[in-house]
Amino acid sequence: GEDVEQSLFLSVREGDSSVINCTYTDSSSTYLYWYKQEPGAGLQLLTYIFSNMDMKQDQRLTVLLNKKDKHLSLRIADTQTGDSAIYFCAVSAVSSGSARQLTFGSGTQLTVLP
Amino acid sequence: DTGVSQNPRHKITKRGQNVTFRCDPISEHNRLYWYRQTLGQGPEFLTYFQNEAQLEKSRLLSDRFSAERPKGSFSTLEIQRTEQGDSAMYLCASSAGFVNEQFFGPGTRLTVL
């Protein structure tokens, strides 16, 4: 089945850019998503990218997809203290059938230092 | 607020008791998912409904777990004879359309004593 890997922790200074990385195994992954989870809150969908795209930009967020290496990244420009949270990469693959359920990584804890 | 809602937000129960959780999806969404999240992990898929039909349930963790969506609107997840290992956050998500963006509720945190 699909496996999604993320590094566990990332610390950046306020105002710097953050880059959160993710790798996945199923080459049939069609949509790839980034979610944000703050303490005590549910998962917030940030953005997604379709597998026929290399890049997607949405305000301060830039998603890069390298299909050859099965590597996905999320760049947050001008990182603020309010961006401190756990960020999850999730993929949906053709192999998951009609359910198209998401397979999540373990999450990256982003800490923004003042 | 027209987001996904879940009730209760917290549930504490004793081992061996049955529990039931409710999810109300976004009203126009025909797809509904249940996930489980344990500490330090990402959500793990449990089951999927399209309208009232449960089309995927092979990932339910054991036969103690069951889910329903009787009229294609709200859904319930029941755990019978709870065990301490069932302690987790249970998340519901709903979606519609080709992109299948799944919107999550706040979750129900289950603690089994």
Range B81-87 average pLDDT? 97
Tell me the C-alpha distance between B76 and B27, whole Å: 16
Tens of pLDDT, residues A23-47? 999 878 789 999 999 988 889 999 9
Range B62-80 average pLDDT? 94
Please give the pLDDT value at position B106. Answer: 95
Please give the pLDDT value at position A30. Answer: 84
Tens of pLDDT, residues A53-71? 999 999 999 999 999 999 9
Q: Is A102 helix (H, G, I), strand (E, B) or coil?
A: coil
In sequence order, what are the residues at sequence separation of 6 or more whose Cβ sits closer than 8 angstroms to the Cβ of residue B25?
Answer: B4, B32, B73, B74, B75, B92, B94
Cis peptide bond N-terminal to B8, omega within 30: yes
Among the partner residues A31, A100, A105, nearest to B42 by beta-carbon distance: A105
- Check A99 against B48: CB less than 8 A apart: yes
Residues of chain B in contact with residue A90, where contact means CB-CB under 8 angstroms, are: 42
**In a mutagenesis test of the B interface, which of A86, A89, A101 is the best target, namely the one with the most B β-carbons within 10 Å?**
A101
In sequence order, what are the residues at sequence separation of 6 or more whose Cβ sits closer than 8 angstroms to the Cβ of residue B89?
Answer: B36, B37, B38, B107, B108, B109, B110
Looking only at the bridges linking them, the beta strands covering A85-93 and A29-37 are antiparallel
Q: Which helix (H) or strand (E) holds B103?
A: strand B103-104
pLDDT surpasses 70 at B57: yes
pLDDT band at B58 (very low <50, low <70, confident <90, very high): confident
Nearest 5°: phi and psi at A98?
Answer: -70, -20
Tell me the C-alpha distance between A13 and A113, whole Å: 5
In sequence order, what are the residues at sequence separation of 6 or more whose Cβ sits closer than 8 angstroms to the Cβ of residue B53?
Answer: none
> How many Cβ atoms sit within 10 Å of the Cβ of residue A50?
12
> B6 near B93, Cβ under 8 Å?
no
User: A75 vs chain B: nearest CA distance in angstroms?
Assistant: 20
Range B52-70 average pLDDT? 90
| Structure token pair of residue A64 | 């890069």
Q: Which 43-102 residues of chain B touch chain A by CB within 8 A?
A: 43-45, 48, 50, 55-56, 59, 91, 93, 99-102
